Amino acid sequence: MEGRRITGRAAVRQAALADRAFIEDLGKRTLGDSVAHFRIANQVMLEASYDGLLDFVYHQPHLALIAECGGVQAGFLLMLLTMPDEVTRMPQGFVAYMAVEPAARGAGIAKQLLAAAEDEARARGLPYMGLMVTEDNAAARAVYERAGYLTERRLLCKPL
């Protein structure tokens, strides 16, 4: 997908076991999008953290979606199905991680993945969708805001 601009509508499907390598690779290539500009990030530690996230997600009820453009994997979304809101304990779908190939960004793939996850959450009777996004990731925040997501809490951090 590198070097090639993607346009048009993607097909979104449930991930298969064969998609795990793509999810691991793209996730690791996009980890920097989840790090605030003031944090010093060690790539080895970021990758270890991502490996831990995948282990956590894969060992409980979850949904993994793949977006494809012309038969080529262009993005993915991992959603936890049994992670209640931490304060109210209300059930919700929780987007654990979503990534789109850099060459495919701006083509609406994140919007399609998110809509497919929301459809699945509704079908399962989940009344809310939750997710976290780094404040510096303006593009992702814009996708979520256009999809109707509201800021509920803020994690504050201060470099010392």
Q: Dihedral, CA atoms, 134, 63, 118, 36, nearest 10 degrees? A: 0
Q: Tokens representing 23? A: 């999810």
Q: Which CATH architecture has domain 11-146?
A: 3-Layer(aba) Sandwich (3.40)
pLDDT at 9: 79
Task: Tell me the H-state helices in the chain.
Answer: 20-29, 43-58, 109-123, 138-146
Residues of the chain with pLDDT under 70: 1-8
pLDDT at 8: 61
Distance from C-alpha of 158 to C-alpha of 40, rounded to nearest angstrom: 13
In the sheet with 11-14, reading across from the earlier edge strand, the strands are: 11-14, 62-69, 72-80, 93-100, 129-131
pLDDT at 1: 47
Q: Tokens representing 159? A: 């470099």
pTM, full prediction:
0.92
Q: What angle do CA 68, 73, 77 make, to 5 degrees?
A: 80
pLDDT at 4: 56
